[in-house]
Amino acid sequence: MKTLFGELADGTKVSSWFLENGGTRLRVLDYGGIVQSLEIPDRDGRYANVSLGFDTIEDYIAGSPYFGALIGRYGNRVAEGRFTLDGENHQLPLNDGAHSLHGGTEGFDRRVWEVEPFTDGPDVGLHLYLTSVDGEMGYPGTLEVKVTYTLTGGGDWRIDYEATTDKATFVNLTSHVYWNLAGEGTGSVQDHELEIAASRYLPVDPGLIPTGEPADVAGTPFDFREAKAIGRDLRVAHQQLLYSKGVDHNYVLDKGLTARPEHAAGLRDPSSGRTLTIATTEPGLQFYSGNFLDGTLVGTGGNIYRQGDALCLETQRFPDSPNQPSFPSTLLRPGQTYRTTTIHSFGC
Ligand code: GLA
């Protein structure tokens, strides 16, 4: 079901699409492919919206920290917004201090996508299409992007990303949902129990660019191999936590890059019993503990979002890969198809 959500300054209409299947309810905007709300039941069957967002398009435009959005052309940071490809230098807009973050000032999160609903057996969903022209936000090549959101008969939310280009370029697409399984606006997620299937993570420099050498999580606050409360080690005086005001790091998933989605992470809110598990084809997972939420935004339910009121688990290739030859490649050439899949499963 499609309804009018709002209008952009130039008069472009923004629509909201509502999907429900297998007990999961999803509201998606064509603006940014934003998941505006995602509702799931708790152990007593009570529904809550477990994803941070806004009520109006004006709020999204004015300053959303990527709430629920599709991220592209490049998820996370590219150092100094620069890379060299086939001998040519490229400069991206800098929107994160000295660096380029999440595709630049006008990333895919701020574009209006073309949306086509579908039904496929027990599944329902939306195809989202976007063309990013050669040179847009400094990236070479016209990129044709197709993202499919599927709500399966079992209530899973599956994302399939696809892209092709007419010139060599770098691509790293992800989804930037802020999770709070107790319900958005209910306070901190520090009691949520998180498990990440990664023995290593990527330490960063003070500008949050990976230094390049993965480090063992063993014996550090970054160890989530066994589920533990998010808040347990967040105040440990570890240099890496100081740089990012919490966790904002790419985990190197033990499974690596896989042809099929495999387990990456699990999250559980003890108060409601709601659970989320994430499987992906991607080798990386950015765990961001909502460090930059600072009490200046009022969310969907009318409550203020403060630091640590949600967390993001962004499946991806590693940050700054265009400048880090030892990382799995994010290079896409004409004739190739970029394809990745991430599945979010809910329970209680
Ligand atoms: C990612 C980045 C963070 C931050 C958030 C959005 O997780 O790594 O540093 O930019 O997105 O605020």
Amino acid letter, 99: H
- Cβ within 8 Å of residue 252, ≥6 positions away: 198, 199, 200, 201, 202, 214, 283, 284, 318
pTM: 0.98
Query: How far apart (Å, rounded) are the C-alpha atoms in residues 66 and 69?
Result: 5
For atom 6 of ligand 1, the residue with the nearest CA is 65
Query: How far apart (Å, rounded) are the C-alpha atoms in residues 194 and 225?
Result: 9
CA of 308 to the centre of ligand 1 (A): 13
User: What string of pLDDT tens digits covers the 348 residues of the chain?
Assistant: 899 999 999 999 999 999 999 999 999 999 999 999 999 999 999 999 999 999 999 999 999 999 999 999 999 999 999 999 999 999 999 999 999 999 999 999 999 999 999 999 999 999 999 999 999 999 999 999 999 999 999 999 999 999 999 999 999 999 999 999 999 999 999 999 999 999 999 999 999 999 999 999 999 999 999 999 999 999 999 999 999 999 999 999 999 999 999 999 999 999 999 999 999 999 999 999 999 999 999 999 999 999 999 999 999 999 999 999 999 999 999 999 999 999 999 999
In CATH terms, 2-347 corresponds, of 2.70.98.10, 3.40.50.970, 2.60.15.10, 1.10.3720.10, to 2.70.98.10
Pocket test for ligand 1, best of 67, 291, 292, 294 (most atoms within 8 A of CB): 292
Distances (CA, A) of 73 to 83, 138, 164, 280: 14, 10, 12, 19
Find the catalytic residue in 136, 184, 282, 314.
314
- Cβ within 8 Å of residue 200, ≥6 positions away: 214, 215, 216, 217, 251, 252
- Annotated active-site residue 263? The verdict is no
| CB-defined site of ligand 1, < 6 Å | 65-66, 76, 101, 208, 248, 286, 288, 292, 312
- Annotated active-site residue 238? The verdict is no
Query: How far apart (Å, rounded) are the C-alpha atoms in residues 50 and 299?
Result: 12
Query: How far apart (Å, rounded) are the C-alpha atoms in residues 234 and 300?
Result: 27
